[in-house]
């Protein structure tokens, strides 16, 4: 097995995507291709990539090998070469494995969810392109290659969010995601340029950067770290660039599952973990990241408690969970953060897919207060959603418990008791809003019992079951030593920020107890308020929280409107009045002078002949006098 297989992890989804795109064009222009042919190409890609990922994973067990494959020289400027390089180390192969695995099951789900859609082939073209970009981001061996994947992910998210493009609201949501991400990308580019300037003399790949950055002054490192984090904020939807994430719900539900669980939002986190050697040198920036993460976690959780759209609740919960992850990576617990990414991928994908299944069953109803009583009518969805909800709330032994416990332990261990407190409080809110959703949707008294249900196909239910099993089991790769486990993920990612726990065993037991207690408190509050909720009572739809703290309105007032005014000024004043005037006057004068010159053509042969004589005379005089 050669290292060139690494490139195939990215190439397989990319080729599949190109094939699907061409087939889709053929299908709409020439003759229709049945959906199952699209499905074969679309669904095989993530699983093939997963298989290759497994091969590398097996080779890495027991040693610290890093596989690097430089496919070809991409740029050569004045002796400075950049290669199209792929790198698989323990972190990236771990990401590859769960991105392709969870992504694969989201693909299967999507094949059921989208089966009646006109643009089935187009959808999977975007989907696989999205997956390929994400894998390129993960496997890139230099920030440049990573940035290509980074941009690809942003582009595909735009395509997918505005997939139902007939509705202008969806297109606006896509634009919002794209523009918010652009702001973040600026940070990434600035960081990359600074790194190139200060530490890129030997090459811009991570191995060289790690050596190069060690000798860069701290204030420059701080700048690079902050600029990179701006990129991470944009991609991973933290304060203040999170606004695109709730609106990203405009896309089809599988897209939400893919964006929120396996790809896209984890990119920012992966990037911070990838640059762990940089952030290790600047713990102050790390602390800043942790504070941003804590603020985002709390903020999003508070908003989620009042939302009524099932997908919006889940969107804010994603943002909140990402906040947890940033707390961990900010405080140096990179493996902890990645562990939460991993478990979160399972239960969040499951939550979205369950929500999508309910939405399909109820003929595209998204308001949870119009659902109700689904427990007995869709038992499979109920059970899987219950598993996912328990997992995200942090009830042992479900996946979320272990990773969230690790994060809060990391916070406590670092002495950041404020962040720890925020984390615990957010945990209460998390279990509260998740169980509020669960109780209202599944236990609420329903007065529309006769509403017929849309049947669900196997391709929708099977991924639900698989991911439910994943949500139960995925936590066990990180069982802490306290509970007799080996913390396999921590060992696996040992090179990415070792952090020693120096909190005593009894304190760890207390912390764990507090976490479980917080989750149970949240559940109890939700139980008291929403169990057997009477659906005829309309929930209160006003107030600061329901309006999401008016942040969208604030951004609109402060930034969007100003820019709108500026662009209106440019388009109506500068463009029309100044630039167009100059251009039009110039062309008018040209036309006028054209008419003047045209008068010379007066059909008078003798006049022409005279001018010939003049010309010849001038030329011969020139020849005689000057050239002699």
> What's the min distance (Å) between Cβ of 625 and other proteins?
19
Please tell me whether residue 16 adopts helix, strand or coil conformation. helix
Could you give the C-alpha distances from 572 to 47, 388, 440, 581, 627, in angstroms and in order? 53, 53, 52, 12, 57
> What's the min distance (Å) between Cβ of 594 and other proteins?
9
Spatial separation of the C-alpha atoms in residues 371 and 348, rounded to whole Å: 20
Q: CB-wise, 61 or 603, nearer to other proteins?
A: 603
Asked if residue 32 binds other proteins (CB under 8 A), the reply is: no
Count of other CB atoms within 10 angstroms of residue 120:
22
Which residues 517-536 are close enough to bind other proteins by CB under 8 A?
none
Q: CB-wise, 532 or 588, nearer to other proteins?
A: 588
Spatial separation of the C-alpha atoms in residues 361 and 624, rounded to whole Å: 97
> What's the min distance (Å) between Cβ of 598 and other proteins?
4
Q: What angle do CA 419, 476, 380 make, to 5 degrees?
A: 100
Concatenate the DSSP letters of all residues of 456-468 into one string. Answer: --HHHHHHHHHHH
113 class by beta-carbon count within 10 Å (0-12 exposed, 13-18 middle, 19+ buried): buried
Q: CB-wise, 537 or 624, nearer to other proteins?
A: 624
Which residues 550-609 are close enough to bind other proteins by CB under 8 A?
588, 591, 595, 598-599, 601-607, 609
Q: Which residues lie closer than 8 Å to 414 by C-beta, 6 or more apart? A: 331, 332
> What's the min distance (Å) between Cβ of 623 and other proteins?
16
Q: CB-wise, 537 or 603, nearer to other proteins?
A: 603
Q: CB-wise, 536 or 606, nearer to other proteins?
A: 606
Q: CB-wise, 284 or 604, nearer to other proteins?
A: 604
> What's the min distance (Å) between Cβ of 579 and other proteins?
21
> What's the min distance (Å) between Cβ of 590 and other proteins?
13
Given a contact cutoff of 8 angstroms between Cβ atoms, the answer to whether 274 and 91 are in contact is yes
Q: CB-wise, 29 or 599, nearer to other proteins?
A: 599
> What's the min distance (Å) between Cβ of 620 and other proteins?
12
> What's the min distance (Å) between Cβ of 587 and other proteins?
11
> What's the min distance (Å) between Cβ of 604 and other proteins?
7
> What's the min distance (Å) between Cβ of 610 and other proteins?
5
Closest CA to 212 of 265, 305, 143: 143
Could you give the C-alpha distances from 97 to 51, 94, 152, 345, 494, in angstroms and in order? 9, 5, 20, 12, 18
Count of other CB atoms within 10 angstroms of residue 568:
10
Spatial separation of the C-alpha atoms in residues 499 and 41, rounded to whole Å: 43
Q: CB-wise, 571 or 587, nearer to other proteins?
A: 587
Expressed in angstroms, the distance from the first to the final Cα of the chain is 79
> What's the min distance (Å) between Cβ of 622 and other proteins?
19
Which residues 137-166 are close enough to bind other proteins by CB under 8 A?
none
Spatial separation of the C-alpha atoms in residues 160 and 155, rounded to whole Å: 9
Closest CA to 238 of 296, 286, 294: 296
> What's the min distance (Å) between Cβ of 576 and other proteins?
20
Spatial separation of the C-alpha atoms in residues 45 and 573, rounded to whole Å: 52
> What's the min distance (Å) between Cβ of 593 and other proteins?
12
Q: CB-wise, 537 or 596, nearer to other proteins?
A: 596
Count of other CB atoms within 10 angstroms of residue 250:
23
How many residues interact with other proteins (rule CB under 8 A)? 15
Asked if residue 613 binds other proteins (CB under 8 A), the reply is: yes
> What's the min distance (Å) between Cβ of 583 and other proteins?
16
Q: CB-wise, 570 or 616, nearer to other proteins?
A: 616
Spatial separation of the C-alpha atoms in residues 224 and 143, rounded to whole Å: 13
Choosing from 80, 476, 610, 622, the residue that interacts with other proteins (CB under 8 A) is 610
552 class by beta-carbon count within 10 Å (0-12 exposed, 13-18 middle, 19+ buried): middle
Q: CB-wise, 37 or 614, nearer to other proteins?
A: 614
Site string for other proteins, 353-392 (x = CB under 8 A): ----------------------------------------
| Tally of CA atoms within 13 A in the half-sphere of 605 that contains its CB | 0
Q: CB-wise, 30 or 603, nearer to other proteins?
A: 603
Helix 310-330 to helix 334-361 angle (10° resolution) is 180
Q: CB-wise, 544 or 586, nearer to other proteins?
A: 586
- In sign, the C-alpha dihedral spanning 593, 594, 595, 597 is positive
Q: CB-wise, 528 or 606, nearer to other proteins?
A: 606
CB contact burial 458-488 (16+ within 10 A = b; e otherwise): ebbbebbebbbebbbebbebbbbeeeeeebe
Asked if residue 617 binds other proteins (CB under 8 A), the reply is: no
Q: CB-wise, 193 or 584, nearer to other proteins?
A: 584
Spatial separation of the C-alpha atoms in residues 194 and 191, rounded to whole Å: 5
Spatial separation of the C-alpha atoms in residues 385 and 389, rounded to whole Å: 6
CB contact burial 12-48 (16+ within 10 A = b; e otherwise): bbbebbebbbebbeebeeeeebebeebbebbbebbbb
Q: CB-wise, 567 or 593, nearer to other proteins?
A: 593
Please tell me whether residue 81 adopts helix, strand or coil conformation. strand
> What's the min distance (Å) between Cβ of 250 and other proteins?
49
> What's the min distance (Å) between Cβ of 575 and other proteins?
23
Binding site for other proteins (CB under 8 A): 588, 591, 595, 598-599, 601-607, 609-610, 613
């Amino acid at each position: 097995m050669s290292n060139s297989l690494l490139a195939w992890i990215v190439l397989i989804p990319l080729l599949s995507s190109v094939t699907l795109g061409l087939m889709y064009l053929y299908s709409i222009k020439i003759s229709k291709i049945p959906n199952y042919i699209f499905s074969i190409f679309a669904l095989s890609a993530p699983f093939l990539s997963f298989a290759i990922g497994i091969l590398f994973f097996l080779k890495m067990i027991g040693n610290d090998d890093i596989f690097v494959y430089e496919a070809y020289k991409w740029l050569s400027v004045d002796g400075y070469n950049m290669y199209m390089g792929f790198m698989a180390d323990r972190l990236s192969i771990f990401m590859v494995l769960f991105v392709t695995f969870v992504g694969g099951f989201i693909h299967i789900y999507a094949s059921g969810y989208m089966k009646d859609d006109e643009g089935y082939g187009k959808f999977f073209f975007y989907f696989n392109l999205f997956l390929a970009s994400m894998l390129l981001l993960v496997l890139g061996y230099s920030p440049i290659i990573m940035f290509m994947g980074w941009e690809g992910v942003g582009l595909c998210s735009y395509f997918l969010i505005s997939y139902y493009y007939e509705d202008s609201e969806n297109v606006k949501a896509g634009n919002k995601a794209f523009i918010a991400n652009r702001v973040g990308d600026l940070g990434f580019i600035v960081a990359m340029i600074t790194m190139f300037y200060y530490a890129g003399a030997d090459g811009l790949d991570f191995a060289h950067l790690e050596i190069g950055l060690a000798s860069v002054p701290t204030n420059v490192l701080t700048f690079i770290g902050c600029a990179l984090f701006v990129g991470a904020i944009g991609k991973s939807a933290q304060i203040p660039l999170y606004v695109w994430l709730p609106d990203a719900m405009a896309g089809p539900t599988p897209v939400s599952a893919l964006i929120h669980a396996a790809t896209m939002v984890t990119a920012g986190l992966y990037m911070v973990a990838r640059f762990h050697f940089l952030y290790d040198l600047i713990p102050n920036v790390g602390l800043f990241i942790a504070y941003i993460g804590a603020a985002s976690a709390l903020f999003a959780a508070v908003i989620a408690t009042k939302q009524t759209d099932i997908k919006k609740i889940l969107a804010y919960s994603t943002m909140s969970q990402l906040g947890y992850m940033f707390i961990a990576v900010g405080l140096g617990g990179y493996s902890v953060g990645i562990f939460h990414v991993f478990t979160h991928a399972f239960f969040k994908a499951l939550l979205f897919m369950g929500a999508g299944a309910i939405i399909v069953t109820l003929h595209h109803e998204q308001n949870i207060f119009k659902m109700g009583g689904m427990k007995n009518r869709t038992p499979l969805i109920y059970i899987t959603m219950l598993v996912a909800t328990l997992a995200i709330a942090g009830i042992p032994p479900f996946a979320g418990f272990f990773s969230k416990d690790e994060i809060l332990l990391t916070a406590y261990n670092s002495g950041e008791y404020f962040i720890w407190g925020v984390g615990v409080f957010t945990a209460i809110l998390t279990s509260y809003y998740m169980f509020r959703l669960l109780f209202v949707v599944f236990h609420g008294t329903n007065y529309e019992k006769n509403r017929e249900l849309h049947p669900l196909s196997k391709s929708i239910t099977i991924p639900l079951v698989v991911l439910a099993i994943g949500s139960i089991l995925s936590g066990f790769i990180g069982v802490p030593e306290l509970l007799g486990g080996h913390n396999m993920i921590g060992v696996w990612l040992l090179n990415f920020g070792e952090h020693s726990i120096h909190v005593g065993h009894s304190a760890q037991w207390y912390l764990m107890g507090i976490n479980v207690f917080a989750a149970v408190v949240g559940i109890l509050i939700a139980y008291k308020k929403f169990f057997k909720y009477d659906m005829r009572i309309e929930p209160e739809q006003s107030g600061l929280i329901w309006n999401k703290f008016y942040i969208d309105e604030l951004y609109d007032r402060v930034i969007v409107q100003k820019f709108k005014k500026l662009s209106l000024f440019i388009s109506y004043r500068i463009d029309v009045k100044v630039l167009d005037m100059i251009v039009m006057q110039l062309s008018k004068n040209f036309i006028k002078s054209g008419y003047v010159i045209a008068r010379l053509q007066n059909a008078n042969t003798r006049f022409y002949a005279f001018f010939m004589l003049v010309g010849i005379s001038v030329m011969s005089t020139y020849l005689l006098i000057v050239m002699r």
